[in-house]
Amino acid sequence: MGRHRENHPDDEGRTARADIGRSRRRRGRGGAFVALAAAFAIILGLGITGWYTLSGQDGCGGQDIRLSVVASPELVPPLSRTTAEFNDARHGVDGRCVRVDVRAEDSANVAYGITGAGPTLGDTDSDVWIPDSRLWQNIVEDHSNGNAFTDTGTSVAYSPLVLAQPAEAAEKADEEPSWDALVPTAAPTGGAAANAVRVVDPTRSSSGMATLALIAGAVGGEEDDQPQLVAALQTLQRGVTPDEEAAFGLLSEAAGTADTADTAAPPIMVLSEQAAWRYNADHADAPTRVSYPDGGTYTLDYPYIVRTEDPVLSRAAEAFRSALSEQSVEDTLLSHGFRTAEGRGDPDVLSTAAGFAEDAPDSLPDPSAGTVQRLGQAWNQLKLDTRLLTIIDISGSMLEPVPGTEMNRMQVTTAAAAEGLNMFPPESELGLWEFSTFLNEELDYRELLPVRELSAESDGVTHKERLAKTLSEIEPKPTGDTGLYDTYLAAFREMQRNYRADRINAILMLTDGNNDDPDGISLEHLLQTLQTEGSRERPVPIFTIAFGPGIDPEPMEKVAEATGGAAYNTEDPTEIGDIFLRAFAQRLKGPEGEEADG
């Protein structure tokens, strides 16, 4: 009905006005919609911006916060993608964008750069440090010196230690190795080792230091076990490689000679799984096969360590640490040969065809900081080249036969000395004296060969060859007595006079009896002079190995005590190897029997 009224002729003006009003209202609603749409777009844009702001924590703008991250070199390739994505996402702290810079740096280089406990090169400063192992963290904590150091409790990746050897050699192996069977614990003889276990220098490598700790655990920590540990360390030192690159070269070279007549034992290299995978990826023509020692192994765990005390950088470091926990990062790490915290690896990467286990082996406890320090000191002490003066007794009693052999004491002694020569590397310096009474006018001793490097050549003959020949030609003086004390003192003064601080300076006395020179100095005079002229800064330990019955060991033991050496007595020439090992173990102690400071 109202509609009829609107159509009434008298209402035309009203109708027109109504139409105009409706038209205006329609236009007004349309304009409002457009305005609302525009506002919504602005709000939506602000919302999106806000979402980015929230995703970046505090927003992002202004001058970037530069977060410097140093990581073990093998970790940098998989971290590169993560770092790029993190930087592109424009994470913010305090309204500023965080930009992460990751660079590769050897873990030992950084640790020694922080502590000053060893040699280092280049710039080792950073806000975050990701070494390959908590071994380095322990070293830093032990030498903190007030350095900022925050353990976040996060490990970025994991990789257990394995034994890698040329694939063809591994296929011929009869049994799986164990740590206590890897390294011979008898005296090295200079020949090829039956088990050619090789490590990267333990002072520069987590795998090398962990190997020392694992083998030391297998050998035992009692004092009676020390000669066996010394033998193990000496054997490892004969095949040590300076770095991982050299280790890879050794494996590649060995694989190339697998089919030749070369009789040398193929190397068994201690590496991380990830390093073995990396080697195989780059050496498809000379691959290795890995194995896992019985009893478990040590695992590299790549801790995330914050080194800055700056609160802004600390929050930036936390933002990056959080990003490293994302699934995409874990997948990237797996694709580069690492494992997860649960021991899971990518079977397409760590393939069983190369010997990799589907599940990680049992992980052994981390070596303590004290163990690492002790083994590092022992390694460095034994690594020092020896400077040794060997003195042979040629008194008349050396003609006495040795029961159970067809040799006299002189023959047994010189044969033992010749055998001992094989325990020293070519860089060692050895000299040779003989002694009795009245050998060199009024003197009881005579130089046969000066102290020289074994590898030094003269007229095409090495010093080692001359020593062996001279030992074989020494003859006893039938009427000679034993001028022991005068010879001790003369040798001590000679080694003090020509002391070399970069070497272990020592004297080895091989005799069959006690001093019987009535015209020589007394034991009291000898001991007092040794104590007066000796020095902890320039130690010259005297080691005495006595052959034959009826020897009073007390004087020799007092000389050893005064100089930090040792005295041994045996009638069995086959014991010479063990005696030398005990002598080397004694090198690790100071004059009062305390362990050296390294």
DSSP letter for each residue of 470-498:
HHHH----TT----HHHHHHHHHHHHHHT
Residue 40: pLDDT over 90: no
Of residues 6 and 441, more confidence is placed in 441
Residue 18 resides in a domain? yes
Residue 347 resides in a domain? no
pTM: 0.69
Say whether both 165 and 154 belong to one domain: no
Of residues 265 and 226, more confidence is placed in 226
Q: How open is the CA angle 460-461-462, to the nearest 5 degrees?
A: 125
Say whether both 572 and 424 belong to one domain: yes
- The pLDDT, as a whole number, for residue 327 is 95
151 CB neighbour count, 10 Å cutoff: 12
- The pLDDT, as a whole number, for residue 577 is 60
Residue 341 resides in a domain? no
Residue 214 resides in a domain? yes
Residue 396 resides in a domain? yes
- Average pLDDT estimate for 555-566: 91
Reported as a single tens digit per residue, the pLDDT across 308-360 is 999 999 999 999 999 999 999 999 999 999 999 999 999 999 999 999 999 99
Say whether both 489 and 417 belong to one domain: yes
Say whether both 488 and 394 belong to one domain: yes
Say whether both 223 and 80 belong to one domain: no
Residue 258: pLDDT over 80: no
Of residues 332 and 594, more confidence is placed in 332
State in Å, rounded, how far the first CA of the chain is from the last one: 113
Reported as a single tens digit per residue, the pLDDT across 56-74 is 444 577 789 999 999 999 9
Residue 191: pLDDT over 70: no
Reported as a single tens digit per residue, the pLDDT across 259-309 is 544 556 778 899 999 999 999 999 999 999 999 988 899 999 999 999 999
- The pLDDT, as a whole number, for residue 502 is 82
Residue 264 resides in a domain? yes
Residue 521: pLDDT over 50: yes
- The pLDDT, as a whole number, for residue 126 is 95
Reported as a single tens digit per residue, the pLDDT across 94-113 is 889 999 999 999 999 999 88
- The pLDDT, as a whole number, for residue 440 is 85
- Average pLDDT estimate for 439-458: 94
Pairwise CA distance, residues 50 & 44, whole Å:
9
Helix (H) or strand (E) holding 261: none
Burial of 506 (0-12, 13-18, 19+ CB in 10 A): buried
Domain final position from 37, 55, 73: 55
Task: Tell me the CA distances in angstroms from 345 to 9, 210, 277, 593, one per residue in order.
Answer: 90, 22, 12, 48
- The pLDDT, as a whole number, for residue 587 is 60
Residues in Cβ contact with 53 at an 8 Å cutoff, skipping those fewer than 6 apart:
59, 60, 92
- The pLDDT, as a whole number, for residue 35 is 39
CATH no. for residue 82? 3.40.190.10
Say whether both 561 and 499 belong to one domain: yes
CATH no. for residue 426? 3.40.50.410
Say whether both 35 and 83 belong to one domain: no
Of residues 387 and 39, more confidence is placed in 387
Beta strands (DSSP E) in 29-158 are 61-71, 92-93, 96-104, 128-130, 150-155
Say whether both 42 and 72 belong to one domain: no
Reported as a single tens digit per residue, the pLDDT across 578-590 is 776 677 666 655 4
- Average pLDDT estimate for 426-434: 93
- The pLDDT, as a whole number, for residue 49 is 33
Name the band, by pLDDT with cuts 50, 70 and 90, for residue 24: very low
- The pLDDT, as a whole number, for residue 528 is 96
- Average pLDDT estimate for 564-581: 72
223 CB neighbour count, 10 Å cutoff: 8
Residue 345 resides in a domain? no
- Average pLDDT estimate for 236-252: 88
Among 19-33, 130-144, 527-541, the minimum mean pLDDT is found in 19-33
Say whether both 249 and 235 belong to one domain: yes
Say whether both 415 and 456 belong to one domain: yes
| Domain, as residue range, for 460 | 384-586
Residue 541 resides in a domain? yes
Q: How many domains does the chain have?
A: 4
Say whether both 543 and 529 belong to one domain: yes
Name the band, by pLDDT with cuts 50, 70 and 90, for residue 504: confident
Say whether both 116 and 178 belong to one domain: no
Q: Give yes or no for a contact between 148 and 314, defined as CB atoms under 8 angstroms apart.
A: no
Q: Give yes or no for a contact between 571 and 402, defined as CB atoms under 8 angstroms apart.
A: yes
Reported as a single tens digit per residue, the pLDDT across 113-164 is 888 777 677 778 999 999 999 999 888 887 766 566 888 999 999 999 999 9
DSSP string of 361-426, one letter each residue: PPBPPPPPHHHHHHHHHHHHHHHSPEEEEEEEE-SGGGGSBPTTSSSBHHHHHHHHHHHHHTTS-T
- The pLDDT, as a whole number, for residue 588 is 56
Give which of 520, 522, 521, 592 is closest to 563, Cα–Cα. Answer: 592
- The pLDDT, as a whole number, for residue 574 is 56
